[in-house]
Amino acid sequence: MIKINLLPIRAARKKETAIQQIIIFCASLVLVAVIVAGMYAFKQMQISSTKNDIAEANHKINELKAKIGKLQELKTLKEQVKKKLDILAQLRKNKTGPAHRLATLSDITPDQLWLTGYGENGPAIKISGIAYTEDLIATFMRSLEASTDFMGAELIVSEQIDSGGTKLKRFEITCKLRTAPEAPKQAAQPAPK
């Protein structure tokens, strides 16, 4: 009988199978390494992009903080200017107020009546003077009441004095400043239907 030795062929096949398995294993390792490297590179790009977005957002936040700081400065400047304008308006009002009241007093003072004193203490006013008769004092008081600047005229003192042989009436009157009615702060609301 003829015997064929198959051992070298089996060994060669085992060797080829082992080589193929090693090649497949190495190719798999290379493929996995490529996939992992690709994923790592992709994640690094995402991280870099996110870091850039964060940096841009921080830059915008800093710009906005600078703008907010400027707005705060503008608000404080606006408040300071408003306070200064209010003070100027009050000064103008006070400047024209007493001058206007004294002009009114000059206009309503009758002849033969002389004012010797005028004092303001807030809304209270004290006027003193000399007149020939009580009728002139009464006329002066009625004129005070009728004026747009004064109200509540009240005679405090009326006495007779002698000045160089002439009998005169010395008087003191108190009154209050008439305040202009303020404009309503809210507009009139429409009537319900």
CA distance 128 to 158: 10
Q: In what order do the strands lie in the sheet with 150-163?
A: 113-121, 124-131, 166-177, 150-163
Q: What's the token pair of residue 46?
A: 């995402």
In the predicted model, is pLDDT for residue 49 greater than 80? yes
pLDDT tier at 179, thresholds 50, 70, 90: confident
Contacts 24+ apart (CB under 8 A), 92-98: none
Can you give the pTM of this predicted structure?
Answer: 0.46
Question: What pLDDT, on the 0 to 100 scale, is given for residue 34?
Answer: 95
Mean local confidence (pLDDT), 11-32: 90
Choice between 164 and 3, residue whose per-residue pLDDT is larger: 164
Beta strands in the chain (DSSP E): 113-121, 124-131, 150-163, 166-177
In the predicted model, is pLDDT for residue 123 greater than 80? yes
In the predicted model, is pLDDT for residue 99 greater than 90? no
